[in-house]
Amino acid sequence: MKKLLILIVFPVSTLIFSYAFAQTTEHIHKPHPHKHKQYAKVKNPVPMTEESIAKGKRLYEKHCVSCHGESGRGSEKTDLTDELWIHGDTDGEIFHVITDGTKGPAPMKGFKKELTKEMRWHLVNYIKSLKKTEENGE
Ligand code: HEC
């Protein structure tokens, strides 16, 4: 009887444990594309004007170029011009990455403290412009 109890209790507690663990590490995910629905809904309050893109570019050159490269291509993981948006492709999701950073095998820190909200939206506009103009060829 004891054996049977162990047989039942052990798998059940393992299940509960892994569930609790999954809860606390909710944001740590493997680098596969996913959506952040709650952020995708956030609207960009800054219109994508040339002025905004120019401001974003200046900020980008100061804060982001070291990892994402001059043209935004960076490395495979930090390419901002490709079709692959690991953390979602909407303005709101890009804003969220810049604000809070990411957690993962190769995380990025957030810029909440360093950059104002408006600055972060200019960056979103600049990053989006990289893709649109296809300035960087290929
Ligand atoms: C210290 C290096 C570093 C700096 C500086 C940095 N990033 Fe990142 N960034 C990364 C890495 C690494 C990733 C991939 C992280 C991941 O997938 O979890 C990333 C991912 C991103 C993504 C998500 C791309 C996707 O596919 O979803 C965006 C958007 C982004 N960065 C924008 C910026 C902006 C804008 C700045 C400047 C304000 C910046 N980053 C500064 C390292 C950096």
Is 63 near ligand 1, meaning CB less than 6 Å away? yes
* Residue 68 CA to ligand 1 centre (angstroms): 7
Can you give the pLDDT at residue 78?
86
Tell me, what's the pLDDT at 26? 47
The pLDDT value given to residue 27: 52
Among the atoms of ligand 1, which is closest to the Cα of residue 106?
12
Domains of the chain (ranges; CATH) run 30-133 (1.10.760.10)
With a CB cutoff of 8 Å and minimum separation 6, the contacts of 63 are: 111, 114, 115
> pTM value?
0.79
For residue 16, give the amino acid letter.
I
Ligand 1 mutation target, pool 55, 78, 119, most atoms within 8 A of CB: 78
User: pLDDT 10s per residue in the chain (138 long)?
Assistant: 666 655 656 555 555 445 444 444 445 555 678 888 999 999 999 999 999 999 999 999 999 999 999 888 888 778 898 888 889 999 999 999 999 999 878 899 999 999 999 999 999 999 999 975 444 444
CA of 97 to the centre of ligand 1 (A): 7
What 87-90 contacts at long range (C-beta under 8 Å, 24+ apart), as own/partner pairs, is 87/34, 87/36, 88/33, 88/34, 88/35, 88/36, 88/39, 88/40, 90/39, 90/40
DSSP assignment of 21-56: HHHHTTT---SS----HHHHT----S---HHHHHHH
Atom 32 of ligand 1, nearest CA residue: 98
Q: What separation in Å is there between the alpha carbon of 108 and the centre of ligand 1?
A: 5
Residue 16, class by beta-carbon neighbours within 10 Å (0-12 exposed, 13-18 middle, 19+ buried)? exposed
How far from 29 is each of 36, 48, 75, 94, CA to CA, in Å?
A: 12, 31, 20, 17
